[in-house]
Amino acid sequence: MVNRLILVLGDQLTPSLSALREADCKTDTVVMAEVASEAEYVRHHPKKIALIFAAMRKFAGQLKQDGWNVAYTRLDDPDNAGSIPGELLRRAAEFKAQTVLVTEPGEWRLIEALRDTPLDMHLLPDDRFLASHAEFEGWARDRKQLRMEYFYRDMRRKTGLLMEGDKPQGGKWNFDHDNRKPAKADLFAQGPLRFEPDPVVSEVLDLVEVQFGENFGDLRPFWFATTREQALAALNHFVTHSLPRFGDYQDAMLTEDPFLYHAVISPYLNIGLLTPLEVCEAAEAAFMRGDVPINAAEGFIRQIIGWREYMRGIYFLEGPSYVSRNALEHTRDLPGFFWGAKTKMACVTAAIDQTKKHAYAHHIQRLMVTGNFALLAGIDPHQVHEWYLEVYADAFEWVEAPNVVGMSQFADGGVIASKPYVSSGAYINRMSDHCKTCAYKVSQKTGEGACPFNLLYWDFLLRHRDRFANNARMGNMYRTWDRMKDDHKVQVLDDAKVLLARLDAGQAV
Ligand code: FAD
Ligand code: DLZ
Ligand code: SF4
């Protein structure tokens, strides 16, 4: 009998993982390792590291109870080789094994590192996702534009979710039109289910505090789910309390409420504690019972079988160079306020404070506040990419990079987005309560107190006029600009220049 190692990574904590399905618990050894190379290749938020280590330890414990041989390496183990390939080589020598089974990692960096080892490496498809690489490639082939909406419809047909025969429930594929309600200050949402640290979590928190306490982000209070049972309870809590209003307030932002009606399950989905299909089935069942309206159920399911799958498809289709794209040739450094330095912009302060506290910000904050600012200001997209990869508990490259490099920064030149996601302060004012307390005035278009988003919006559009002027979805913006008085235009662009110069000089904006 050949001894085999079964590698299970920190974001592969799913009992039905393809590598575990292929393995034999009587003869194979599962290898799991907390390693410096994964924890340090970017400076992850301490909460993200704690989530992964605690969930890994508990998953390993469960595997042992289920009868598996598990070789688990803790970060502070003196024999720890410091990297996944290093740990595999060490365990291969220990167990006299040459063959490794592993479910394909979600990052090119690690796929390449595994392929480079001298071991007999078998990479199995990650079938926790609905669409295989071949299926996505087949869908993308011969299409001029890779728009998510059409991919999503195929996934609805494939899964049968919210389908009546071959027709979508409610007569429409997409109910987004009903999902644009702005935030009201008295909006009351329960927020996510929180879990008290148990001894395993507490031990991990102490380790992370010592090893990664200097990284950006608050380690405590820590309340994430770290087992499948807890994650299922968090999902159930969301479906009961928040899903009914998820659709209505999906794009809303409130200074005092980071979570609103969002699910806060992406960290659990992305490390494997939940599977996408079971999450969608829970939402569909709530709709069928009459507990949630169609716009909520459809909107939520679209995020998962549509956007989430589509992003992964793009990441693997476009290849390892995708993360380095910079179609708009943006080179400015990321301003210090992304790391907590002071900014007078109330919307940015709220998004970054919440990120620091919770390793979480919801989609519109990521896209229309921090992402929008970085794009308008012309920040180097690679720095933006690394920031997002570091600060969010749900950030793994297969999903983070297409969202940041593609959707948010347009650095892929339009593979994902048909136009850049940019807006002036008016959008943020409509969807949030931030502008009421801001040092800047959202209604002011020029001068000292003008909202920076108002100034940078036009500066961005003018900088890139050659590229975007003929984009059918952007013509209106340029026509609005062309109708403005010349002296106003000069003032806007001069004020934007001053603002960018202050940013470059490291002054508070
Ligand atoms: P909800 O709003 O409740 O949505 C439900 C689920 O839908 C999420 O849990 C998630 O699994 C899925 N989903 C929604 N939108 C997307 C999307 N655009 N791409 C993929 N899945 C989606 N999501 C990540 O999981 N990891 C990331 O690193 C990440 N980086 C992002 C960076 C930027 C610039 C932007 C604009 C979006 C990013 N997203 C990322 C997508 C989205 O912001 C998060 O999935 C969402 O905020 C997670 O919180 P939630 O569980 O409360 O989501
Ligand atoms: C993100 C992460 C961290 C911080 N630490 C570990 C670790 O110590 N061991 C491990 O197996 N995985 C870790 N991960 C998750 C990997 O980085 C992840 O598998 C790859 O980025 C591919 O998605
Ligand atoms: Fe943000 Fe501008 Fe509103 Fe201030 S005024 S909160 S900077 S959009």
Q: What's the gap in Å between 369 CA and the centre of ligand 1?
A: 15
Q: State the ligand closest to the CA atom of 37.
A: 2
**Residue nearest atom 10 in ligand 2 by C-alpha distance:** 10
Confirm if 393 and 219 have CB atoms less than 8 A apart.
no
Average pLDDT, the chain: 97
Instruction: Look at 134-138, 256-260, 490-494 and tell me which has the smallest mean pLDDT.
Output: 256-260
CA of 425 to the centre of ligand 3 (A): 6
Confidence of residue 2 (pLDDT cuts 50, 70, 90): confident
DSSP 448-498: TTB-HHHHHHHHHHHHTHHHHTT-TTTHHHHHHHHHS-HHHHHHHHHHHHH
Closest ligand relative to 343 C-alpha: 3
* Residue 276 CB less than 6 A away from ligand 1: no
pLDDT above 90 (res 193): yes
Residue 394 pLDDT exceeds 90? yes
CB-ligand 1 contact for 460 (6 Å cutoff)? no
- Check if 345 has its Cβ closer than 6 Å to any atom of ligand 3: yes
Q: Which domains does the chain have, with CATH numbers?
A: 5-124 (3.40.50.620), 133-191+242-314 (1.25.40.80), 336-504 (1.10.579.10)
Enumerate residues 6+ apart whose C-beta is below 8 A from 187: 249, 252, 254, 257, 260
pLDDT of residue 375: 98
Q: Name which residue sits closest to atom 7 of ligand 3, judged by CA.
A: 345
Q: How confident is the model at residue 185 (pLDDT cuts 50, 70, 90)?
A: low
pLDDT at 183 over 80: no
Q: What is the mean pLDDT of residues 495-505?
A: 97
Give the mutation target among 337, 348, 432, 434 for probing the ligand 3 site: most ligand atoms within 8 A of CB. Answer: 434
Q: Is the confidence at residue 63, as pLDDT, over 70?
A: yes
- Closest atom of ligand 2 relative to the 84 alpha carbon: 11
Q: How far is the CA of 422 from the centre of ligand 3 (A)?
A: 14
pLDDT of residue 101: 98
| C-alpha 444 to ligand 1 mean position (Å) | 32
Task: Give 177 or 148, the one with higher predicted confidence.
Answer: 148
Give the residues across from 73 on adjacent strands. 33
Nearest CA to ligand 3 atom 8: 425
Q: Considering every ligand atom shown, identify the ligand nearest to the alpha carbon of residue 421 and give its number.
A: 1
Distance between start and end Cα atoms, the chain: 66
**Which pTM does this prediction carry?**
0.98
In this predicted structure, what is the pLDDT of residue 180?
Answer: 75
Q: Which of 370, 372, 442 to mutate to test the pocket of ligand 3 (most atoms within 8 A of CB)?
A: 442
Residues in the chain, overall count: 509
Rounded to 10°, the helix 486-504/452-463 angle is: 100
Output the pLDDT for position 247. Answer: 86
* Contacts of 446 by beta carbon, 8 Å cutoff, 6+ apart: 455, 488, 491, 492, 495
Residue bearing the CA closest to ligand 2, atom 17 = 38
Token readout for 208 is 């992370």
Q: Check residue 1 and give its pLDDT.
A: 63
Amino acid 188: pLDDT? 75
